[in-house]
């Protein structure tokens, strides 16, 4: 993973950032753990990597206002393949 992040918001495991040319830029979060800050508030510490992932079907992408966005089918595809995506990010060390 590229960097360690600290946040007060619980992160999504995979977040779609940008969709372009049938691929999605994904922010992938691994090893999410809770910690306390100096004031005793809960924060989340995790590793984050960013990758481009090809979406295999045209139905995974739709056009809105002239730009590509991920469709419900695309979100379902990413959710179904989350483990594979995270494992690829870990193996690639991005």
pLDDT tens readout for residues 42-94: 999 999 999 999 999 999 999 999 899 999 999 999 999 999 999 998 888 76
Residues 6+ apart with CB under 8 A from 55: 19, 22, 23, 24, 61, 70, 74, 77
Give the model's pLDDT for residue 80. Answer: 97
Domain of residue 53 covers: 3-92
* CA–CA separation, 73 and 75 (whole Å): 5
Number of domains in the chain: 1
pTM of the predicted protein model: 0.84
């Amino acid at each position: 993973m590229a960097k360690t992040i600290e946040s007060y918001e619980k992160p999504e495991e995979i977040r779609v950032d940008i969709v372009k040319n049938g691929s999605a830029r994904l922010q992938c979060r691994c090893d999410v753990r809770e910690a306390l800050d100096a004031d005793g508030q809960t924060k989340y510490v995790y590793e984050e990597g960013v990758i481009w992932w090809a979406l295999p079907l045209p139905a995974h992408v739709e056009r809105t206002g002239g730009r590509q966005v991920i469709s419900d089918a695309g979100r379902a595809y990413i959710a179904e393949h989350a483990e594979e995506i995270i494992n690829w990010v870990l193996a690639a060390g991005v």
